[in-house]
Amino acid sequence: MPQKRRSQSWAELKQTGNECFKTGQYGEAVSLYSQAIKEVEKSGKKNPEDLSILYSNRAASYLKDGNCGECVKDCTVSLDLVPFGIKPLLRRAAAYEALERYRLAYVDYKTVLQIDCNIPAAHEGTNRMTKCLTEVDGLSWRDKLPPIPTVPMAVKEKLSQASNHHTTEHNGTQGKNKSALGETDIKKALSLKEEGNGLVKKREYKKAIEKYTQSLKHNSSEITTYTNRALCYLAEKMYKEAVKDCEEALQLDNVNVKALYRRAQAHKELKNYKACVEDLNNLLKVEPKNTAAQKLLLEVQRK
């Protein structure tokens, strides 16, 4: 008589889900996290922290699969269980952004910055949303925002300490752990970046590359500096360097549209067509109506 298979514990299901997520099996990860949630709820020991992590992990899988609506729902449940969690806030912000609900995305990114002002993904997200909202609502865009919750000091200290002991994550992928930057470094990096931007407008790409390189020495967690330098590398036909800069940017924000598009452009020139198509498909999950990506995808598919 065959032995009855032992049912997995919620912790084992979670671990298997994590492994599936790492290998890109997002649908399978969703299934495993769902089973783990059921096991925790069945056990009667409803530890809110365990459940919050499971919902947040499932949200990351939904986000990767392009199911932004379900991602928002799971992040909201996760945050109801444990308020002000950095990962679910960032994941929900990314989902709102993909759904073009820019005001709600801005609120979540801003909330993260209250907890830890050294998270690059939150800074970048806030900057993107500011730009989008200015275009949509004009200079009075702040008047139309929902209220931004105030993070209690006790929560802020606890979560900030926790984030310092873990590698910063965004949308399920690991980013680089950055030490706190001094105000002088941030200002100098910004100044050099602006000089680089001015040189790009004059099409002086080599000089711009030098400025961006100097800027990154002061602040190596500024995503737009990498994507701007990648643009210059593309203009100078330095395609391998462009790929490297886009990879640096994607380490910090794995759904950054400019980084995905510029890496796709570089892959195309290097004749890495499969990698190019993969980047464009990932980009179109975030921005389905991106006409430049659609056009480049058709061009590469013809090859």
- Please choose, from the candidates 229, 199, 235, 234, the residue with its C-alpha nearest in 3D space to the C-alpha of residue 212: 229
170 strand-pairing partners: 173
Distance in angstroms (rounded) separating the CA atoms of residues 136 and 128 = 12
d(CA 100, CA 289): 11
Instruction: State the pLDDT confidence band at 167, using cuts at 50, 70 and 90.
Output: very low
Task: At 299, list the tokens.
Answer: 């061009």
Residue 180 has pLDDT above 50, yes or no: no
Q: Between vectors from CA 201 to CA 195 and to CA 203, what angle results, nearest 5°?
A: 105
Average pLDDT for 33-58: 89
Ordered by where they begin, the domains of the chain are: 7-82 (1.25.40.10), 85-170 (no CATH), 183-302 (1.25.40.10)
Spatial contact of 148 and 108, defined as CB atoms under 8 Å apart: no
The residue type at 288: P
> pLDDT at residue 168 above 50?
no
Query: pLDDT tens-digit profile of 11-25?
Result: 999 999 999 998 889
Higher pLDDT, 44 or 9: 9
pTM of the shown model? 0.55
- Give the model's confidence band at 46: pLDDT under 50 very low, under 70 low, under 90 confident, else very high: low
Q: How many residues does the chain have?
A: 303
pLDDT, one tens digit per residue, over 49-66 is 999 999 999 999 999 888
Interatomic CA distance for residues 135 and 124, integer angstroms = 17
Enumerate the β-bridge partners of residue 173: 170
Kindly provide the b/e burial profile for residues 95-104, where b requires at least 16 CB atoms within 10 angstroms of the residue's own CB. Answer: bbbbeeebbb
- Average pLDDT of the residues in 27-36: 95
pLDDT tens-place string over residues 135-144? 888 888 888 9
Q: Which of 224, 275, 276 is nearest to 250 (CA)?
A: 224
- Which position has the token pair 């190596």? 220
155, 84 in Cβ contact below 8 A?
Answer: yes
- Which residues make beta-bridge pairs with 174? 169
Which pLDDT score, from 0 to 100, does residue 208 have? 95
Please, which pLDDT band fits residue 160 given cuts at 50, 70 and 90? low
**pLDDT averaged over every residue in the chain:** 86
- pLDDT 10s digits, 215-256: 998 888 788 899 999 999 999 999 999 999 999 988 877 788
